[in-house]
Structure 1
Amino acid sequence: MAPLAAEDMAMNNQTYDGKERDASDVLYQNLAKGVQSVKNGEVYTIDEAWEEIEKI
């Protein structure tokens, strides 16, 4: 079974234009990476987190 967020993204992508979909995909991928790092026990400082956010 696919995660709910992935299903929501699949349904919502139908209403986005190309740029919005690309931006949404990048955001989703980065959020998924962040969730996985939490599950792996990796911890970021707030400064490191802001550096990553500024790259986006």
Structure 2
Amino acid sequence: MNPARSTGVALFAETAALGQLWAFWVAPLVGAVIGALIWRALLAPSDERF
């Protein structure tokens, strides 16, 4: 998923793509947050954990 590419296509397409665009921005951000939390909980040095 490339949000920049999806945004460009959605802006010029005459379909409902613009209404679905939020998923292409939110999903990678949510995935990054989840990945960071997992790393911090399981793999971070003990002084950086929660």
Q: TM-score, normalised by structure 2?
A: 0.45
The structure number with the bigger radius of gyration is: 2
